[in-house]
Amino acid sequence: MNPKLFPTVLIVLDVAAGVVYATHGDWRKFGYWVSAAVLTACVTF
């Protein structure tokens, strides 16, 4: 099993959550979730 599988799934889910909040116009939560995805990517890769 690839050790980077879970963080990659988490990044995808964070970005998906950001997209949902962006479509509803909640830009603060969009920024939060995209920042969480970027932070996870920086730590993982």
**pLDDT value of residue 40:** 97
pLDDT tens digit sequence for 6-45? 999 999 999 999 999 999 999 999 999 999 999 999 999 9
Q: Report the pLDDT value the prediction gives residue 1, as an integer from 0 to 100.
A: 87
CB 4 within 8 A of CB 41: no
Count of H-run helices and E-run strands, the chain: 2, 0
pLDDT at position 39, please? 98
Instruction: Give me the residue spans of the domains in the chain.
Output: 5-44
d(CA 14, CA 11): 5
SS3 sequence of the chain: CCCCHHHHHHHHHHHHHHHHHHHCCCHHHHHHHHHHHHHHHHHHC
